[in-house]
């Protein structure tokens, strides 16, 4: 059977030092994590790393042959950029393998002050077309872009043929309806947003109420987000995943809670030329991290050896019991069960990326950078 020589990096979430060790031990090529403040988009209580923990975590990863990327992917506030610049400086001094930034000013600061620190563009920057990505590469020497979850595999393939940097795509975890980096729903309800404060629907604004009929009502700030019947599993009250009454009918008007699960799409995704697969979920516990990392490690290793991929390995970890997984035995993009999948699969009339990056025609990532 055909043996595949190079696989994309498996980039795994680590919300805590213990999750970092679990991810590395389970086979992550890379762990990504953030400092314990609003410089990263998972600024939840009990998560993230102190400076000492980050230095230790990087050491642990390096000792075990893995890399560490530090997400500094919120947007500095006017008159208060010191925290974000300090985070970049500290990431460089601790020996991080890359920083993942979203803000254009922070990208400029990193490129100017730490030219040897590998710079990745966060999904929060919403760079989803050739011109936008080329601009970041030209201006700041960005080596990798994390692509928004709105792109199909043909679009990713087309982009990979014309942009001068690597691409990283999400392969598992939560989905949200925003064009990444541009959601104000949480801010509307709580005053805190992913981009400015690093939190969506913060727990401090969440309330659950047990009703007399046994139903459960969940609230975010002043808003009722959902009402669950007695036996129904109650989800976290994220505004975009709320059930609301519209024209007399209650339903999920933004989206039904659904997880991204690209295990069944791995062969197509790998052929698209992506340099890395990213697992979402820095807010998740160790058991979840271990299960997901192990499943993807096994899937990638199986693919490399020409063996079948176990595509249903993570069926039980889907949010709301629903995922974008392609059912076993069904081939082709229109298979039942993919109806909710608005990304990765081919779309009619999608715009193919075309041409070459104008300023860097013929350019590309350094050979040594490919696959890092
Ligand atoms: S409210 Fe929903 S769409 Fe907006 S950031 Fe949160 S999860 Fe994403």
- In tens, the pLDDT along 304-318 reads 999 999 998 898 887
Helix (H) or strand (E) holding 21: helix 17-26
CA distance 222 to 368: 52
Cα(186) to centroid(ligand 1), Å:
7
Ligand 1 contact via 258 beta carbon (within 6 Å): no
> Does residue 344 register a pLDDT over 80?
no
Ligand 1 contact via 179 beta carbon (within 6 Å): no
Token pair 């791995």: residue:
266
Q: Whose CA is nearest to atom 4 of ligand 1?
A: 183
Mean pLDDT of 335-350: 41
Which of the two residues, 257 and 32, has the higher pLDDT score? 32
Beta bridge partners of 165: none
> Does residue 368 register a pLDDT over 60?
no
CA 178 to ligand 1: nearest atom: 3
Question: Confidence band (pLDDT; 50, 70, 90) for 367?
Answer: very low
Beta bridge partners of 72: 101
pLDDT value at residue 35: 98
Probe residue for ligand 1, chosen from 200, 257, 343 as the CB with the greatest number of ligand atoms within 8 Å: 200
Burial of 322 (0-12, 13-18, 19+ CB in 10 A): middle
CA distance 263 to 312: 8
pLDDT value at residue 300: 97
CA 177 to ligand 1: nearest atom: 3
CA distance 212 to 66: 52
Name the region of 248 (left: φ>0; alpha: ψ -120 to 50; beta: rest).
left
CA distance 215 to 239: 19
- In tens, the pLDDT along 260-274 reads 999 999 999 999 999
Cα–Cα separations (whole angstroms), residue 93 to 40, 51, 117: 18, 11, 10
Cα(344) to centroid(ligand 1), Å:
19
> Does residue 331 register a pLDDT over 70?
no
Ligand 1 contact via 178 beta carbon (within 6 Å): yes
Q: Which fold has domain 9-175+259-360?
A: TIM Barrel (3.20.20)
What does DSSP assign to residue 233? P
Chain centre distance of CA 125: 12
Task: Evaluate if pTM is beyond 0.85.
Answer: no
- List the structure tokens of 265: 């799409």
Ligand 1 contact via 274 beta carbon (within 6 Å): no
Ligand 1 contact via 185 beta carbon (within 6 Å): yes
Which of the two residues, 109 and 346, has the higher pLDDT score? 109
CA distance 148 to 170: 8
> Does residue 33 register a pLDDT over 90?
yes
pLDDT value at residue 234: 83
pLDDT value at residue 326: 57
- The Cβ of residue 229 has, within 10 Å, a number of other Cβ atoms equal to 11
Chain centre distance of CA 361: 29
Q: Is 7 helix (H, G, I), strand (E, B) or coil?
A: coil
Mean pLDDT of 15-39: 97
Burial of 64 (0-12, 13-18, 19+ CB in 10 A): exposed
Q: Is 11 helix (H, G, I), strand (E, B) or coil?
A: strand
CA distance 200 to 238: 7
Question: Confidence band (pLDDT; 50, 70, 90) for 177?
Answer: low
* CB-based contacts of 158, cutoff 8 Å, min separation 6: 352, 353, 354
CA distance 24 to 11: 10
- The Cβ of residue 357 has, within 10 Å, a number of other Cβ atoms equal to 21
What does DSSP assign to residue 177? S
Cα–Cα separations (whole angstroms), residue 46 to 39, 194, 228: 15, 17, 27
CA distance 235 to 228: 9
Domain definitions of the chain by residue range: 9-175+259-360, 185-252
Q: Which of 110-124, 229-243, 309-323 has the lowest mean pLDDT?
A: 309-323
> Does residue 11 register a pLDDT over 90?
yes
pLDDT value at residue 204: 92
147 φ, ψ to 5°? -80, 140
Q: Is 208 helix (H, G, I), strand (E, B) or coil?
A: strand
CA-derived radius of gyration, the chain: 20
Ligand 1 contact via 137 beta carbon (within 6 Å): no
Q: Which of 67-81, 130-144, 235-249 has the lowest mean pLDDT?
A: 235-249
Probe residue for ligand 1, chosen from 102, 174, 201, 320 as the CB with the greatest number of ligand atoms within 8 Å: 201
pLDDT value at residue 255: 78
Chain centre distance of CA 65: 22
Ligand 1 contact via 186 beta carbon (within 6 Å): yes
Probe residue for ligand 1, chosen from 74, 176, 190, 342 as the CB with the greatest number of ligand atoms within 8 Å: 176
pLDDT value at residue 71: 98
Ligand 1 contact via 194 beta carbon (within 6 Å): yes
pLDDT value at residue 232: 86
Which of the two residues, 318 and 189, has the higher pLDDT score? 189
């Amino acid at each position: 059977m055909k043996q595949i020589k190079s696989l994309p990096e498996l980039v795994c979430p680590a919300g805590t030092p213990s999750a970092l060790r679990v991810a590395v031990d389970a086979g992550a090529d890379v762990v990504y994590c953030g400092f314990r403040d609003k410089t990263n988009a998972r600024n939840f209580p009990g998560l993230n790393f102190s400076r000492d923990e980050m230095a230790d975590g990087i050491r642990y990863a390096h000792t075990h042959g893995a890399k560490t990327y530090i997400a500094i992917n919120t947007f500095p506030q006017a008159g208060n950029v010191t925290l974000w610049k300090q985070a970049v400086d500290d990431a460089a001094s601790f020996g991080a393998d890359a920083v993942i930034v979203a803000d254009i000013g922070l990208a400029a600061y990193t490129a100017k002050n730490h030219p040897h620190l590998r710079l990745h563009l966060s999904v929060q920057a919403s760079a989803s077309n050739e011109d936008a990505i080329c601009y970041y590469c030209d201006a700041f020497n960005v080596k990798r872009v994390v692509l928004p979850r709105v792109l199909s595999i043909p679009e990713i393939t087309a982009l990979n043929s014309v942009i001068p940097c690597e691409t990283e795509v999400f392969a598992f975890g939560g989905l949200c309806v925003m064009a990444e980096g541009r959601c104000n729903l949480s801010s509307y309800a709580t005053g805190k947003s992913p981009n400015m404060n690093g939190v969506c629907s913060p727990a401090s604004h969440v309330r659950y109420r047990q009703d007399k009929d046994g139903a459960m009502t969940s609230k975010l700030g002043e808003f009722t987000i959902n009402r669950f019947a007695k036996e129904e599993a109650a989800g976290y009250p994220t505004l975009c995943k709320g059930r609301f009454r519209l024209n007399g009918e209650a339903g999920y008007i933004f989206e039904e809670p659904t997880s991204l699960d690209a295990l069944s799409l791995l062969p197509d995704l790998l052929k698209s030329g992506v340099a890395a697969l990213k697992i979402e979920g820095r807010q998740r516990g160790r058991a979840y991290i271990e299960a997901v990392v192990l499943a993807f490690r096994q899937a990638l290793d199986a693919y490399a050896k020409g063996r079948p991929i176990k595509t249903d390995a993570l069926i039980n970890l889907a949010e709301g019991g629903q995922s974008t997984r392609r059912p076993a035995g069904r081939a082709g993009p229109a298979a039942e069960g993919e109806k909710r999948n608005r990304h990765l699969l081919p779309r009619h009339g999608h715009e193919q990326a075309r041409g070459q990056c104008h300023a860097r025609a013929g350019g590309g990532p350094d050979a040594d950078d490919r696959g890092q």
